[in-house]
Amino acid sequence: MEGVLKVIHLFGIVMWIGALLIASLQLRQAAKLPREAQRPIIGAMRRLHLGFGLPGMIVTLAGGLVLLMLHTEYFSQGWMHAKLTFVILLIVLDLCLVALQSKYREVAGSAGPPLLIHIVAGLSFLGVLIAVFVMRPVA
């Protein structure tokens, strides 16, 4: 059962982080285009994010919460604190991307904020991987 939960958790991560990185990168590219050309790209990225990324985030968080409840000893370990810090940062970045997409639908924006979201999201995901695969003690 735990193996199935891990697969579901990882599948959600791929959906969530993949959509977050694609949407932020494409939003950056859209910012370079004339306003009329931005609208279809922004709409497509919003649909990708809400239809693929948001469900991925929900699956990731739900699966991770269940796994955490199965291993309550992880609450007192530093690697889990680091991982959860990066996960919270990824949630904040995800919300920033939603707000930015809404803003771009109203007014043309610059390429700076989407690039920043893209870079910080990638580094945060790398932080999660380091916390899990480097900092976590081998059982």
Neighbours of 22 (CB within 10 A): 16
pLDDT tens-place string over residues 13-34: 999 999 999 999 988 888 888 8
**pLDDT 10s digits, 61-94:** 999 999 999 999 999 999 999 999 999 999 999 9
For the chain, how many structural domains are there in total? Answer: 1
Nearest to 97 by CA among 34, 30, 33: 30
Question: Is the pTM above the cut of 0.85?
Answer: yes
CA of residue 31 relative to chain centroid, distance: 21
Range(s) of the domain holding residue 11: 2-135
Give the Cα separation of 7 and 25 in Å (integer): 27
Report yes or no: 17 and 78 within 8 Å, Cβ to Cβ: no
